[in-house]
Amino acid sequence: MSSPRFEVESSPQVLSVAFHGRLDSAGCAALNDALLAQIEQVEPGQHLRFDLAHSDFVASAFLRLCILAARRVGGERFELAHLTPLVREVFVMAGLDRHLRIDGVAAS
């Protein structure tokens, strides 16, 4: 099994981080420092999007990274995009759908 990875695309409006692979505890630990460095690059007024189209599993360690990212940029500027149904269910079960914007739907 390969380690998870991410790719970054930036525009003046959005810094998009596209994840690939299983985002389990070990994978998140491996990505942690590089991901936090990318989050620090978000400019004032720029949004941060985590694209999960190519990730079919997330562990609680990834939920933690999402919370950290949302706090860093402000919840209204953080979005999760392209969640598979199983990954979306993890966020719903954790109650994070009430706090994070998911696929363009604002937190309730």
Beta bridge partners of residue 101, listed in sequence order:
79
User: Tens digits of per-residue pLDDT, 70-82?
Assistant: 999 998 999 999 9
Q: How far is CA 3 from CA 22, 48, 78, in A?
A: 8, 23, 25
**Domains, the chain:** 5-102 (3.30.750.24)
User: Tens digits of per-residue pLDDT, 43-89?
Assistant: 999 999 999 999 999 999 999 999 999 999 998 999 999 999 999 99
